[in-house]
């Protein structure tokens, strides 16, 4: 849902954690993103059907152009996850399927194969949760997880998201077939109780 007319939404150009930096992708990032996708196709394809649509850095550049337009319209806030020290592109995340009227945001994420298991996604999601609740007035933040994606589920559990249930045949998976999704969420009351909320590393 587009933002309410006449209501400016200020969003920082970048958000930094102890190890990662989140920012919108730029056209010059396309080769680095393409490299990460190429490295990770086998790793990502069971969970991310979009990887099959990317066949070159030019394809990625076109995707980035669409992402930047959606960011400008505040319809979708996709960010790259970068190593704060080296600048290496690690993966993607963002606030998606935004309902500005109700202040509901969905977080999605992926990480390149060689960066998996190091806590980068957990840190990125923490930063986005803080942004949503502390800066954007969120009432609810959601994460949808394929029941077979154990690593993704662990991120939600580590950060205190509440498992609300399973939506059956809810989203398209590999091959376009409908698949189940666990829905995890935080509402504002949940967020205010999180031990990590005030710990900024």
Domain with residue 125: its CATH number is 3.40.630.30
The number of distinct structural domains making up the chain is: 1
pLDDT digits (tens, 9 = 90+) for 155-182: 999 999 999 999 999 888 777 789 899 9
pLDDT of 139 reads 98
Does residue 95 belong to any structural domain of this protein?
Answer: yes
Residue 8, domain member (yes or no) = no
pLDDT reported for residue 19: 98
Q: Which of 90-99, 129-138, 145-154, 172-181 has the lowest mean pLDDT?
A: 172-181
Res 46 pLDDT > 80: no
Q: Is residue 83 part of a domain?
A: yes
Task: Judge whether 187 lies within some domain.
Answer: no
Q: Is residue 3 part of a domain?
A: no
Its domain, for residue 109, covers 15-140
Q: Does residue 154 sit within a domain?
A: no
SS3 per-residue string spanning the chain: CCCCCCCCCCCCCCEECCCEEEECCCHHHHHHHHHHHHHCHHHHCCCCHHHHHCCCHHHHHHHHHHHHHHHHCCCCEEEEEEECCCCCEEEEEEEEEEECCCCEEEEEEEECHHHCCCCHHHHHHHHHHHHHHHHCCCCEEEEEECCCCHHHHHHHHHCCCEEEEEEEEEEECHHHCEEEEEEEEEEHHHHHCCCCCCCCC
The pTM for the full model equals 0.91
Summarize pLDDT for 69-111 with one digit per residue, the tens: 999 999 999 999 999 999 999 999 999 999 999 999 999 999 9
Q: Is residue 19 part of a domain?
A: yes
Lowest mean pLDDT of 27-41, 45-59, 168-182, name the range.
Answer: 45-59
* pLDDT over 90 (residue 33): yes
Q: Is residue 100 part of a domain?
A: yes
């Amino acid at each position: 849902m587009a933002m309410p007319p006449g209501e400016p939404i200020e969003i920082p150009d970048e958000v930094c954690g102890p190890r990662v930096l989140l920012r919108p992708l730029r056209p010059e990032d396309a080769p680095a993103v393409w490299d990460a996708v190429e490295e990770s196709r086998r790793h990502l394809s069971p969970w991310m059907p979009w990887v099959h649509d990317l066949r070159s850095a030019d394809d990625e550049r076109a995707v980035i152009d669409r992402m930047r337009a959606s960011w400008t319209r505040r319809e979708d806030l996709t960010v790259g996850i970068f190593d704060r020290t080296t600048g290496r592109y690690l993966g993607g995340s963002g606030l998606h399927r935004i309902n500005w009227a109700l202040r509901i945001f969905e977080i999605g994420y992926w990480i390149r194969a060689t960066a998996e298991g190091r806590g980068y996604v957990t840190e990125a999601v923490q930063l986005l949760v803080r942004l949503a609740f502390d800066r954007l007035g969120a009432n609810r933040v959601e994460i949808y997880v394929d029941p077979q994606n154990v690593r993704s589920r662990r991120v939600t559990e580590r950060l205190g998201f509440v498992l609300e249930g399973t939506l059956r045949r809810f989203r398209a998976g590999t091959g376009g077939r409908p698949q189940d999704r666990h829905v995890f969420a935080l509402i504002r009351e949940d967020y205010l109780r999180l031990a990590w909320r005030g710990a900024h590393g």
